[in-house]
Structure 1
Amino acid sequence: MIDLFYISTNSMWSGSEELWSRSAKTFIDAGYSVCVATVYDHEKLDELKVKRLNFLNRFVPKPFLKRGIERFLPIKFETKDSLKDLLLEAKPQLVIISQGNIYESIDVINLCKYLNFPYITLTQLVSDLFIWVGKNEHVFTFREVYRNAKKNFFVSHSNLKLNNFILGCDLLNAEVVYNPCKLLNDELPAFSKISGFYTIGLVGRIECWHKGYDLLVQVLSEDKWKKRPIQFNMYGDGPHTEFIKTYISKWELKNLVLKGHSNHIGEVWSENQILLMPSRFEGQALALIEAMWCQRAAIVTDVGGASELIEEGVSGFIADAPTIASIDAALERAWEKRDEWQQMGIKAAASLREKHPADAVEYFNQQLLKLL
């Protein structure tokens, strides 16, 4: 019998995988028997195998549009029987289903319900876009599987509230947990000061429909942003890198610099004075948590849990909506207070430490232990 069976239905390794994978590693290190199943391969999973992982089975979803509306639809598993066999062999005390959105794991959740294995859900993202993905006949199924869970965990109060709205009911078995910060033991990066010059960092997958970078390039095309002594440093890679490059060239956005992917978050924030996240939707972004931990204020859109961490004019600036006008207005407010960014960053770090548990993984694990 396996103690904990972790299943991730996310399509790739990303920040949303940090919480469940660190949770699994901690339990493995503590001597618990753990099994993991994912739809992707990644070196982080190899680290789990080294750490006494009992066995690993990966299941693969049927092909669908990787970057479009179908990403939100429930996954139909080609190897569902293999996953069923693996669960029956493992006989887990608790199944932890980590999902990128509230719909993608329905097949897996239903399988656990059918096999009568206790399960919890961990949802990293809820967006009002999801309201229009489900069909009438799905509503009762969604309600049933979430109500049947031992617990449903969400990474922000905003996401939990929106989920209840989408389902048309209040889940009494739902709680908020927190995404981890990878920098707990790292030295805080010094605040970069270049007289009369300002740097803004953007950290995340270069994926416009999610991160809103298409909105940003339109904002930066205005002459006022081209003329100001400011540089926007974009870290990461993704399917829309060439799109961004096109408009850097076409609109001569010389102050927007693609830095590529970086695994050294401390170095990123040693080069930048404030974070910018023009996202269309978020759960609770690790990039925001890490920036605040490093004493950096943030300019964010009012999506997901951003406004739960950022206070307008105190620890950052909040765009009312992911629109060109709102992002431009928030950037303008930030520019007017550019000489206060360092002090605002200190306040951001203090606020994060007050609102966020010192060890988010330990907090999550304690909730799981209550269910074993």
Structure 2
Amino acid sequence: MACGPWGALPVPPRLPRPRDAGRHGVRAGPDHRRGRRDIGGRPRRSERICFARGEPSVPERDDRAGVGVPWRWRPLGTRRSRHGAPHGACTSSGVGVGGSDSRLSDCYRFLAPMNRLALIATNDSEHLGGSEALWLQCTARLRLLGIHVAASLSPRVRGSRALETLQQSVNTVDFREPQGGRNLIGRIVRRFRAADLDRWLTKVRPDYALISAGDYLQGGAASAACLRRRIPYALLVQAASDHFGPEPEQFELLREAYRRASGVYFVSHANLRLTERRLALSLPGAKVVRNPFNVAYTASPAWPSEGPWRMACVARIDAFAKGIDLLFESLRAPEWRARDFELRLYGSGPHRVGLTELATRWGLQRVVFEGETRDIEAVWQQNHLLVLPSRQEGLPLALVEAALCARAAMITDVAGNAEVVEDGVTGFIARGPEVGLVRESLERAWDRRHDWRAMGLAAAARIRREVTPDPGAVFASELMQAAGFVAGFDAESPRPPIAG
């Protein structure tokens, strides 16, 4: 104990010396406990000094979200509270502003938890689909742990149905104004005005940023803004396609974004390999996480009656990404006109009018547009087989949901599709998104239509070995550790502005 004008003061704890720490500091351990008591000199904001409570090598656990979280602290220096006293110092009543037992003198540094997350989603479509489900569930978990989440979204998603759950997932949301381009790639790589994003980051003052990229070509500008503000960030990459590659002027920007990210997450191993190949990078620290789903993990809808055989395409109505035009051209063959089947499309999207006109023009009378639905299990009570001839994917929620409901699938070998489907055992794989290959795969599926039920049961057993019951909680735990967040602390405590 030390003496001060308010009586006995607690001696501050021994802080580990970040002797060999890089930008991200070190975790406190037994070999750091004998470090010299060094509380002078304010470290760089990006340096993180860890201070463990109890056993330092074992992360604390918070049962509210069911995930383990590490305890990390950083010195923020003496700060002024709204009462005028240094934050963490004593007021005239003898009680510190920072808490009931924080009677520290002005010379002591205040230790504050890192608990503010900036979420930047690059999705610029009018529909928040499966690519947004993972961060929505993850940030909802983080909020239960006391993490303050500020989101930056495109103004085009204002009317999305997914925003109904946004209130549970974020504390504040800002609808930014995107900077357009003359072509598709230009709109992707120039999605943000850097100055606007910089101002938003300065306003929300995050300790960490999560950039949710719709595909591997997005996120470069947002990463650069975080680097300018010295904010560590992680990239969450959903889709990837060989049909698009980086523009020459954006190649180094994207490489730098991936190289300097403190965490990189993909939803399939195939997309990780494609990104490494197209950007000439090695990402040994990248991890694969799974997207959440909209059915119960124990779902078991009854097998529908037979006749006609009903195939369902559960996806955004996007002709290019989901390959629906390939499916229509395959089904216009003469042999399909005499078969007892229906194709039902569930979902909404930008190409519904055009695809409706195409189905009418080609006389596809067995194609039915069902629109959006929230009850996915009800879909599989009425249909026998999933068809998803995609050109571009991550790992489709529809594929995981169909397998959990014991339905086989006809898919194309893009992205993570083939990672959860075994050809001829749990489904049928077209070797590429081409009309001839899709038609051949559909023929094989039709020839074995009486095996669909048994194949669906095999798919249900396989998918439960590939995905966990709560992918959102798993990713929240991963992000807690990557960001060094501390559970259960007030994220609204005052803090100095970001140095720039």
Alignment counterpart, residue 230 of structure 1, candidates 332, 337, 341: 341
- 8 Å CA contact 2:179, 2:187 repeated in 1: no
Q: Tell me which of 185, 194, 197 is aligned to 1:70.
A: 185
1:71 Cα deviation from its structure 2 partner: 6.8
Structure 1 position 10 matched with structure 2 position 131: no
Partner deviation per Cα, 1:76-118 (whole Å, 9 max, x = no partner): 424x434322322333221000011122221111000111101
Three-state SS of the structure 1 residue aligned to 2:120 is: strand
Q: For 1:178-189, what aligned pairs fall within 5 Å after superposition?
A: 178-184=290-296, 187-189=299-301
TM-score by length of structure 1 reads 0.93
Q: Give distance in 1, aligned partners of 2:361 and 2:354.
A: 11
- Give the stretch that moved more between structures: 259-268 or 13-22: 259-268
Distance in 2 (CA, whole Å) between partners of 1:43 and 1:258 is: 19
Q: Equivalents in 2 of 1:358, 1:293: separation in Å?
A: 11
Question: Alpha carbons of 1:229 and 1:127: their partners in 2 closer, same or farther (altered >3 Å)?
Answer: same
| Shift in CA distance, 52/76, structure 1 to aligned 2, threshold 3 Å | closer
Q: What is the one-letter code of the residue matched to 2:222?
A: V
Amino acid aligned to 1:24: T
Q: Which shifted more, 315-324 or 208-217? A: 208-217
What secondary structure, in the 3-state scheme, does the structure 2 residue paired with 1:100 have? Answer: strand
What residue in structure 1 maps to residue 166 of structure 2?
48
Say if 1:4 and 1:94, in contact at 8 Å, map to a contact too.
yes
Partner of 2:136: 21
Q: What is the CA-CA distance between 1:204 and the residue it aligns to?
A: 0.9
What does residue range 305-320 of structure 1 map to in structure 2 within 5 Å?
305-320=416-431
**1:34 corresponding residue in structure 2:** 149
Asked whether the 8 Å contact 2:180–2:190 carries over to 1, the reply is: no
RMSD, aligned α-carbons: 1.9
1:105-124 correspondence runs (5 A): 105-124=219-238
Show the counterpart of 1:103: 217
- Please give the per-residue CA displacement for 1:249-294, whole angstroms capped at 9, x wherever unaligned: 2222121111112121111111110100011111111111111111
* 1:5-52 Cα deviation digits (max 9, x unpaired): 211011131110000011111111232221111113245435333x38
Kindly state the Cα deviation for residue 72 of structure 1 after the two structures are TM-superposed.
6.5
Instruction: Output one character per residue of 1:188-228: Cα deviation in whole Å (capped at 9) or x when no partner.
Output: 2211122x431100011111111111111111111111111
**Which residue of 2 is the match for residue 302 of structure 1?**
413
Matching of residue 360 in structure 1 with residue 478 in structure 2 = no
The percent identity for this pair of structures is 33
- Unmatched 5+ stretches in structure 2: 1-113, 485-500
CA distance in 1, matches of 2:256, 2:197: 22
Query: What is the Cα deviation at residue 237 of structure 1?
Result: 2.1
Structure 1 residue 69: deviation in Å? Answer: 3.4
TM superposition shift of 1:138: 2.9
Larger mean CA deviation between 166-175 and 184-193 belongs to 184-193
The answer as to whether partners of 1:75 and 1:104 remain within 8 angstroms in 2 is no
CA distance in structure 2 between the aligned counterparts of 1:198 and 1:46, rounded to whole angstroms = 35
One-letter amino acid of the structure 2 residue matched with residue 48 of structure 1: L
How far apart in 1 are the matches of 2:215 and 2:187? Answer: 7
Tell which deviates more after alignment, 19-28 or 178-187.
178-187
- TM-fit CA distance, 1:4: 1.7
1:290 matched residue in structure 2: 401
How far residue 187 of structure 1 moved from its aligned partner, in angstroms, is 4.2
Q: Is the 8 A contact 2:115 2:146 kept in 1?
A: no
Structure 1 residue 216 and structure 2 residue 327: aligned?
yes
Q: Is the 8 A contact 2:129 2:162 kept in 1?
A: no
* Alignment partner, residue 176 of structure 2: 59
Q: Does the 8 Å CA contact 1:147/1:173 hold for their aligned counterparts?
A: no
